[in-house]
A and B are shown apart, each in its own frame.
Chain A
């Protein structure tokens, strides 16, 4: 297992390096001079030239690439034109918010998908089967920019169950900003009221993500459960007088790896892909930052966002692989062969 983990970890290095170079090349292809954007629309040509020198854009492309890689290895992602702050600071300030949102969304979706899969698997007809099919179909086809506003309309406007769907709540002078994510900061401060406030603010965006992105997890779960249920060892458990609980335990244990893989894929996707939900709920995560950066041609911010989300996604996929290998050691053997 240690060898497997080490090999998997090492494979990340060349991928990351390739990603860095690719990011650099793609941002070089942007049809805009970042120095013009940074210097402001009324800057004189001399000021633009000064800015080019300051940003290192007056150097040759290979020199810029070396400088770019050198900066990355020291954790310097440059300075954002839009915010005026170091990109790494901006990302660190926003990343915990995105992680809280996506993690809660995936967790809620995971529970929802597994629960629904358990009650709808192996059912061809009936209300439950219809519910399952509807969820599996609509969940993939109705986008988050429709589901989010509908939830707001239902649970904030029509029936005001949840607070104003703006931001993360939970903050205030008595909850110091430590991580930047209101829920985590409230937990660190041990402030019960702030925790509840943050959780109620988290509910709708989290549910939106869950409803929109749990469908693939559900479909994999259903097919996996149905496939495992048909295996002979399950019949063997029943024939030996095993309880229904024991049967489900065997089914779920064996059906779990593909479900986990799909959940990991969804999680990795959402790290940089929850942008619409972040925008709808003014969440203040890295997704909104990315869109702001792209529309403003914020050169270094775009590079930083791509790098951070790509590395995080790779780490998530690595974690999923390791859990997969831990659950099913045959994976390690297959990998070795």
Chain B
């Protein structure tokens, strides 16, 4: 699925000079473990009704299915103002990761739909009655149909989801409150996709149609600037590009179970400045801090570091058209030679975890039972000796020049892979340029990135990414066992029935790696200690309806 725009996700400008200047300041104000306000969690205080968030950027366009909808700052707002048909429930996050809430990816709950059933290549949803949009229009099946037709016409990310992940070929209104999705087979990822993806959330078609013009048949211009959904929040103030304030909607269908916090998000380009404002108590949540800043924050009693086991991962994508890397033994050797623990400690200050499957651990169907690449140089050398390249080879590892942290990872990999005879030349290039080369030109032998993905939290989804014709298969991966397992996965609706196929998919992906996993990165947010019930969204966006501030 669509990848997060790294420059937005990581807070935009990374001018080394700015970082240099602000390092002094961060150390001075944040490193001492004290706060000028010092208002640690105080359960005796009444809950606040507003909260301030410092993020790298704020939404600039909130059309749920615009090309720019893949930018995290945009869908951060979209996810809070638009509501899905179904959603995942939450469960308590691990206490040693800072608490909060995390998705329960096996528990799909009703949202705008109250019930659903699958039969004969069709999913039928009963819609919740009496739900009002931002404009006060009632939610009906016509909204779902119009949203689908719009996605299809715009042919952007939404269209990709409707077809590749949800397998939907048609959407029709059965009656005012019933909608039927015709699917290609069982489409088992349909519910999970709906639950997490912002691109397919129903739009208030009654309102949007009022703003259709001859040049803009799907009201893209108007929807980019106005909320027309059925979600928990409305936009009360929007000072682009500096700040946006979301106000909880009293007529939200689940208002009784949601928080009442008005949330103002300010664009704070420099992450050191975000930490600075958080430490001083001028904001309640800071997003997108660097590992070093997180370490600094963790020493401050008035701050809490909350980590979620996320889907942001550092992977090396081997181009399987490259004869050196095509041999499976070579890739196995490379994976075995990755000094994961070293990278976690030296580069990420412990703020990362080992990957034992290409599937993220929080995803339904994840298993680590087939993992067999514990770091061992002896084993890696043995694998190389068995490969078609026993004497090693020269290659090139490309990564974004805008990601200084990847430079450190690359240097460690170079050193480690040199020990098994693979002489790697490091090549840092601008991210956009690399995207062209990797996804369009396919002329990069090894490509490393550490982006997150708004991944469908279902282990079958790796099939949609890397099986034959998969949308992420830019490295020309082909494995018959993997393809067969994906087909099996798509045949079943119930989780229990699909679980063997999910395992088989992961086993195939480990036996014949399409990627060389380096580390998984926690989605880390630093909050004032009086902020509670912060929830995790795998896309990196923060849903606000669960949050309370004492």
Q: Which residues of A contact B (CB under 8 A)?
A: 31-33, 36-45, 47-48, 50, 80-85, 90, 93-94, 143, 145-146, 148-150, 152-153, 156-157, 160, 163-168, 171-173, 177, 180, 182, 275-276, 278-280, 282, 284, 288-289, 291-292, 295-297
Among B54, B66, B440, point to the contact of A33 (Cβ < 8 A): B440
Among A36, A148, A172, A292, point to the contact of B21 (Cβ < 8 A): A148
Give the distance in Å from the alpha carbon of A292 to the alpha carbon of B269 in the complex.
10
Give the distance in Å from the alpha carbon of A44 to the alpha carbon of B471 in the complex.
7
**Complex interface bits, B112-133 against A, C-beta within 8 A gives 1, otherwise 0:** 0000000000000000000000
Let me know if B276 is at the binding interface, CB within 8 A: yes
Q: Is the CB of B67 within 8 A of A82?
A: no
A305 to chain B, nearest CB (A): 14
The 7 closest A-B pairs by CB, nearest first: A84-B68, A297-B432, A84-B61, A83-B60, A164-B282, A149-B21, A145-B17
Give the distance in Å from the alpha carbon of A291 to the alpha carbon of B402 in the complex.
12
A180 to chain B, nearest CB (A): 7
Let me know if B435 is at the binding interface, CB within 8 A: yes
Given contacts A83-B241, A157-B28, A163-B282, 5 further A-B contacts (CB under 8 A): A40-B2, A48-B440, A82-B5, A84-B60, A282-B273
Give the distance in Å from the alpha carbon of A292 to the alpha carbon of B130 in the complex.
43
> What is the predominant secondary structure among interface residues of chain B facing chain A?
mixed
Chain B residues near A90 (CB-CB < 8 A): 60, 241
Give the distance in Å from the alpha carbon of A279 to the alpha carbon of B11 in the complex.
11
Give the distance in Å from the alpha carbon of A278 to the alpha carbon of B18 in the complex.
11
Give the distance in Å from the alpha carbon of A152 to the alpha carbon of B471 in the complex.
47
Among A146, A172, A292, A295, point to the contact of B430 (Cβ < 8 A): A295
Give the distance in Å from the alpha carbon of A79 to the alpha carbon of B25 in the complex.
37
Q: Is the CB of A295 within 8 A of B68?
A: no
Contact of A40 with B67 at beta-carbon distance under 8 Å, contacts A84-B224, A279-B18 already known:
yes
Q: Is the CB of A84 within 8 A of B66?
A: yes
Q: Is the CB of A42 within 8 A of B3?
A: yes
Q: Is the CB of A149 within 8 A of B155?
A: no
B163 to chain A, nearest CB (A): 11
Q: Is the CB of B432 within 8 A of A167?
A: no
Stretch at the interface among B69-77, B182-190, B479-487: B69-77
**Complex interface bits, B6-25 against A, C-beta within 8 A gives 1, otherwise 0:** 01100011110110111011
Let me know if B176 is at the binding interface, CB within 8 A: no
Could you list some 12 contacts between A and B, CB below 8 A? A32-B430, A36-B435, A37-B436, A39-B67, A40-B157, A45-B440, A82-B71, A83-B68, A84-B74, A90-B241, A156-B276, A292-B7
Chain B residues near A48 (CB-CB < 8 A): 440
Q: Count how many chain B residues have C-beta atoms less than 8 Å from C-beta atoms of the other chain.
A: 68
Q: Is the CB of A84 within 8 A of B69?
A: yes
Chain A residues near B239 (CB-CB < 8 A): 171, 177, 180, 182
Chain A residues near B269 (CB-CB < 8 A): 278-279, 282, 288
Let me know if B243 is at the binding interface, CB within 8 A: yes
Q: Is the CB of A297 within 8 A of B61?
A: no
Let me know if B263 is at the binding interface, CB within 8 A: no
Q: Which residue of A lies closest to B472 (CB)?
A: A42
**Number of A-B residue pairs having CB atoms within 8 Å of each other in the complex:** 189
Let me know if B431 is at the binding interface, CB within 8 A: yes
Chain A residues near B236 (CB-CB < 8 A): 173
Q: Which of B68, B74, B155 has the most CB of A within 10 A?
A: B68
**Complex interface bits, B422-460 against A, C-beta within 8 A gives 1, otherwise 0:** 000000001111011001100000000000000000000
Q: Is the CB of A81 within 8 A of B18?
A: no
Chain A residues near B430 (CB-CB < 8 A): 32, 295, 297
Among A172, A177, A280, point to the contact of B22 (Cβ < 8 A): A280
Give the distance in Å from the alpha carbon of A93 to the alpha carbon of B20 in the complex.
30
Chain B residues near A279 (CB-CB < 8 A): 13, 15, 18, 269-270
Q: Which B29-51 residues sit within 8 Å CB-CB of chain A?
A: 29, 36
Q: Which residue of A lies closest to B241 (CB)?
A: A284
Give the distance in Å from the alpha carbon of A295 to the alpha carbon of B15 in the complex.
11
Let me know if B86 is at the binding interface, CB within 8 A: no
Let me know if B277 is at the binding interface, CB within 8 A: yes
Give the distance in Å from the alpha carbon of A91 to the alpha carbon of B350 in the complex.
41
Chain A residues near B107 (CB-CB < 8 A): none
Chain B residues near A291 (CB-CB < 8 A): 12-13, 15
Q: Is the CB of A94 within 8 A of B68?
A: no
Q: Is the CB of B1 within 8 A of A42?
A: yes
Q: Is the CB of B5 within 8 A of A296?
A: yes
Q: Is the CB of B21 within 8 A of A280?
A: yes
Give the distance in Å from the alpha carbon of A143 to the alpha carbon of B21 in the complex.
10
Q: Is the CB of A171 within 8 A of B5?
A: no
Q: Is the CB of B67 within 8 A of A36?
A: no
Chain A residues near B238 (CB-CB < 8 A): 177
Let me know if B341 is at the binding interface, CB within 8 A: no
Q: Is the CB of A84 within 8 A of B433?
A: no
Give the distance in Å from the alpha carbon of A168 to the alpha carbon of B268 in the complex.
11
Contact of A167 with B266 at beta-carbon distance under 8 Å, contacts A37-B436, A93-B240 already known:
yes
Q: Is the CB of B36 within 8 A of A173?
A: no
Q: Is the CB of A171 within 8 A of B237?
A: yes
